Each structure stands twice: as structure tokens, then as C-alpha cells.
Amino acid sequence: IIDLPTGFQPMSDESGRSWIVYNGEIYNYKALREGLLERGHTLRTNSDTEAIVHLYEEKGPDALHELNGMFAFAIWDEGERRLLLARDRLGIKPLYFREAEGRIAFASEIKGILADPTVPRSLDRRALADYLTFQNVFGDKTFFEGIKVLPPGHYLTAQDGRAEVREYWDLSFREGVRDEAEAVKRFRALLDESVEMQLMSDVPLGSHLSGGLDSSAIVLRASQDLADRLKTFSVYFAEKEYDESGLIEEVSLLADTIHYDLLLDPTEFPKILPRILYHLDEPRVGPSVIPQWYIAEIASKEVRVVLTGHGGDELFAGYPAYIVPYLWEVWRRRDVPEAMQILRSLRWRLREEGWKRVVGLPLYALVNRELARYGHEAQFDDQEREALLVPDEARRLGTYDPRSELERVLARCDAGPINRSLYLDIKTYLPSLLLVEDRMSMAHSVEDRVPLLDHRIAELSAQIPGRFKIRGLTLKWIPRRSAEGVLPRSILQHRKVGFLVPLAEWLRGPLRGYLEEILLGERAASRGLFRPEAVRRLVRDHVMGTRDHAWKLWSLLNVELWHRIWIDGDGPGTEAVASINSSAGMA
């Protein structure tokens, strides 16, 4: 993306002592290069890669604190006989590793490690429990037993036969911004600077445009800085309640972008889903991966880099579930003015957001422990999971509880209810969302950039009190205030939709045959993981319309497809695993 003629890898410092392989972009690399030159370094290229390895030459692992960007890299220090693996602060770029028999294998994709035929392929039962419960995988686990993901904001050093993982960055929630207007001003300035920095590219660049607040603000800002018209990309659905094409068109016209979109056809999905899971390497999060795949596909025909709006919801309270800790915080503070503001805005919020979000969600949280404490409802609760798994699998899982991983994260944050909820999502859900986005874009040779996840914006969020992030039941208050006078009211007042997918309708309609073929066939039944009668009951109740099990069935579908691709070895592309396009190595 930067310095295409000379930025070849692996690359060394001038002495040949330290060598780097690297995936990502360092947005402040020009300033870093200037400092290196002033301090006497000899630079042979114009790439950001070279800046990293020379900075390591000076500071060792402390060089990580100087980097502004998204990155996953490995540096071999010949003098120290030491390997350094490092990942960016918020987990925009993935990095996996496996330790065995005194060796470390590492790669930017799991399939890079699996290219070694001696690596065993077996399911990590704790990862499966995480996924069935919360449709996510927590900590350093992956679906592959023995293969780990390096957590965001961490680095690994391997030396003298020992490997050690250390954290180099974390958010500290200290309310240093006491004035709402100051928070808005600082957010706007940092976002403007981040967008400007991330526009650097030696290849064509565009942007996602969803019709939401974050992507719209980024498109408006980026279009002001570019000499040529910005190209924007989106997908839409035939189902009206999921369609934001009107808002997308409004922003595109306002920013004068060249817009490309695609109507999703669910009849294509049986062909696409195995390809998606092959590129993902393992199941992660929900069906939003489907529109992400198609957006990457249409973008790849026009550009090589896209800006996205990811991260704003997790940093500034954009999800409806954050209403629950917000109300608790208002009650705990005995905040009478804010309570009055809630009452004044209630009628309008009910009309805009709906009864289910504004009233139903907080009431449901009173009886749903997971939603109240973690902001996410369990897809399979403990009883449902036990009824789903065959007895041997339930026994192998033992007493492991996925909630213990969430509790471990919560124990590290002593902020108020809203900011604790944000911290939990930043540490658990955001990395998985970013992993999915990276895998879908890279499958189409497109690089995603995330201006809202400049670490300085994340650190600013940690200084802003929770009471400034939601006001009068309005989510994401600071970004909305920042966009006033820039974005139309229709965008500012629009309810959060995101990449919602009409999955329930599809599984009862055009995908019903595919669902029944995959989950009810002999192959799945003989796998010995789930009770066939439990799966049949879930499918039957859903397709008959008596219950909505769409997200449960999505999880089961992904688990079965994962087994077929990675354990059975008959998935798309598996014949080419040995020649994948992935940064991989041995030490």
C-alpha cells in the first residue's frame, strides 16, 4: 500500500542484525523516519516497515509505544537470538502462534500455521463453549486446540527456549474531561486528524458507507481532503425494515461520492458460506459477516484500500444494550436532571427507537443476568447447552464457564457502569468484529482502515465520563454532537441498525433447504458433538415459526461447516493451504 517499489519483506536494519515481516500500516511513519534520520540511521526505502525495524534497533519492545497504526509483525533479533511478535493496541490486525517442542510457529492467519502438516487439528472445547454461549471466542483461544491468538495490545518474546506474553497497552478509565463541550471538541479534532492520516496510500482508496453516523461522518471528512471524488460501497436488502439505502444515497449525494451498491440475494449464500468460513479460519460473531463479504467484493473491483466506521459504538456507547448500564448509572447518581431529560425525550425515543429497545430491553435485563451484566444475551444458556451436547462432550467440557473470561476482564476496570460495559466490549467483542472485517477484506485483497480506532481516540473515550456518552436515552452522544451541522438530521436521529441481517426470514425461506441439509443430514448427526434430536427440535421450531432460533441455528451451521472444512478437509481452498498468501514463519 505504501512504497510499492522498495517495500519488500523481510526487511532488515542497516546492520542486518534485526529482520522484520509485517502486516499493517503505521500512519505516523513519516515523523518516525525524520527522527531516525536525525539520530543517524541510514534508511534505504520510503516504507513504514523500515521505520519499525530501526525503531526496534533503538528501543527494543518499547518501540511499540511510538507507533500509531494497525499492525502485526515479527522481528528476529540475530544479536539477542530473540523473536518478538507484536499486535496493535485494539486488535485491528490479527496474529496467531503455536508453541510446541521448543518451536514457535506464527502467522497472520490460522491456515498459515496449518500449512505445517505436523500440526494436529482438533477442536478446543472451551472455544466451542464460548461460541455457543456468546457467539464469540474469548481470551487467547481459537477453535484449534494449541493455536492461540496474540491479544490486542500485547507482545510475545521467545528466547532461550522460553516464550513470554506481555501487555504493553491498556485503557485506564480516569475522568479527565469534565466538560461536555471540551469532549466534543477534542473528539472532532482527533477524528479529523485520524482520517487525514489514514488517507495516505499509493493505491486507489474508497470508503464503506452504511447510512449510520460513523461511516457517514468519515465519508464527509474524507471527501473534503481528496482531489478526486471518493468511491463508496454498500449492500442492501430486499426486506424493507433492514434497508438503509435511502440514507446512504442522501450522504453520497451530500459528499458527492461515486457510489456502488449491491442487492443481496440469499439464494447465493450456500455457495458463499463455506468460502467465508474458509477465510475466517474459525466461527466468529454473527451473520453480519455476510454483508461484509459482499462489500469487500464490490470494493475490490475499484479500490485497494477502504475506510470503515468500526469502533465508534464500542468507544462511545452506540449499542442499544448500553441503555441498561446508563439507566443504572442515572439511578446510582440520583441524577434528577438527567431523569427529567429521559422523561421529556421518552415519547420521541419510543417513536424513533421503538418500545422494544427503549422499555423492553431494560425490563428484560432485570430477569436476564447475562444481558444485565455483560451487555449480551447468551445464545445457549447453561441448560440449553447441556441439552444440546452429547453426554461425552458435556463431560469433556467439565466445569468451564465462558462467563469466567468476561469476569476476568471486568475485574480489571473500576469505572462506572457505562464505561465498564464499554471496556468489556473493547476487550472481547471488538477484536472479533475487527478480525472478521480483516479476514473478509483481505480475502478480496482489500485493506480496511479504521479511523475511529486511532488509539488516541480510544484514550480520549476513557477520559470522558459515562454521563456524557448517553444523554436523554440518546446513544453515542459525543459523536452526534460532533456531527451537528455536518450531517443531515435524518442521519443524526436515525436509530442504530448496523449490519443487521434478515436471518430468521431467510432460514424459513430461501435457506431452509440448505439449513436442513447441513444440520439434519447423516454427516452432522454422526459427528458425535450435538444430540441429533436437539438439533431437529431447533430446526423444526424455527422453520414452523413457533420460535425464533435464527442465531442458535447460525452457530450450529458454522460449527458444522468448520468441521467439514478444517477437520474433514473438504472445504473450498483447502487444497491450496500449503501455498496461501499469509505471513508465516518458524523460530
Average pLDDT, the chain: 92
Q: Which of 174, 176, 230, 213 is nearest to 482 (CA)?
A: 213
Q: How would residue 16 be classed by pLDDT, with cut points 50, 70 and 90?
A: confident
- Is the model's pLDDT at 579 over the cut of 70? no
- Is the model's pLDDT at 209 over the cut of 80? yes
CB atoms inside a 10 Å sphere around CB 333: 13
Q: What pLDDT does residue 587 have?
A: 36
CB-based contact 313:456 (threshold 8 Å): no
Lowest mean pLDDT among 14-23, 410-419, 564-573: 564-573
pLDDT digits (tens, 9 = 90+) for 421-478: 999 999 999 999 999 999 999 999 999 999 999 999 999 999 999 999 999 999 999 9
- Is the model's pLDDT at 183 over the cut of 90? yes
- pTM value is 0.93
Q: Give residue limits of the domains in the chain.
A: 11-121+142-170, 122-141+171-501, 503-573
Q: Which of 206, 530, 497, 567 is nearest to 391 (CA)?
A: 530
- 550-562 helix and 269-280 helix, angle to the nearest 10 degrees: 60
Q: How would residue 203 be classed by pLDDT, with cut points 50, 70 and 90?
A: confident
Task: For strands 18-26 and 69-77, give the pairing.
Answer: antiparallel
Q: Using CA atoms, how far apart are residues 245 and 396, in angstroms rounded to an integer?
A: 48
CB-based contact 492:377 (threshold 8 Å): no
- Is the model's pLDDT at 159 over the cut of 80? yes
Q: How would residue 580 be classed by pLDDT, with cut points 50, 70 and 90?
A: very low
Q: Using CA atoms, how far apart are residues 75 and 58, in angstroms rounded to an integer?
A: 13
11-121+142-170 and 122-141+171-501 share one fold: no
pLDDT digits (tens, 9 = 90+) for 291-336: 999 999 999 999 999 999 999 999 999 999 999 999 999 999 999 9
Side-chain half-sphere exposure of 499, counting CA atoms within 13 A = 24
pLDDT digits (tens, 9 = 90+) for 236-258: 888 777 778 889 999 999 999 99
Element (H, E) at 448: strand 447-449
Residue 352 DSSP SS3: helix
Q: What pLDDT does residue 244 have?
A: 82
Q: How would residue 149 be classed by pLDDT, with cut points 50, 70 and 90?
A: very high
Q: What pLDDT does residue 578 have?
A: 35
Beta partners for residue 75, in sequence order: 20, 84
Q: Fold for 11-121+142-170, please state it.
A: Glutamine Phosphoribosylpyrophosphate, subunit 1, domain 1 (3.60.20)
Q: Fold for 122-141+171-501, please state it.
A: Rossmann fold (3.40.50)
C-alpha cell at 4: 510499492
Q: How would residue 572 be classed by pLDDT, with cut points 50, 70 and 90?
A: low
pLDDT digits (tens, 9 = 90+) for 340-360: 998 998 888 887 777 787 888
Q: What pLDDT does residue 4 have?
A: 59
Q: What pLDDT does residue 581 have?
A: 32
Q: What pLDDT does residue 356 have?
A: 80
Percent of the chain with pLDDT over 90: 81
Q: Which of 428, 331, 329 is nearest to 370 (CA)?
A: 428
CB-based contact 20:11 (threshold 8 Å): yes
CB-based contact 250:401 (threshold 8 Å): no
Q: Using CA atoms, how far apart are residues 205 and 200, in angstroms rounded to an integer?
A: 9
Selected residue with higher pLDDT from 131 and 581: 131
Q: What is the mean pLDDT of residues 514-539?
A: 96
174-194 burial, b if ≥16 CB within 10 A, otherwise e? Answer: eeebeebeebbebbbebbbeb
Q: Which of 236, 210, 400, 378 is nearest to 310 (CA)?
A: 210
Q: In this structure, which amino acid lies at residue 265?
A: D
Q: What pLDDT does residue 337 have?
A: 93
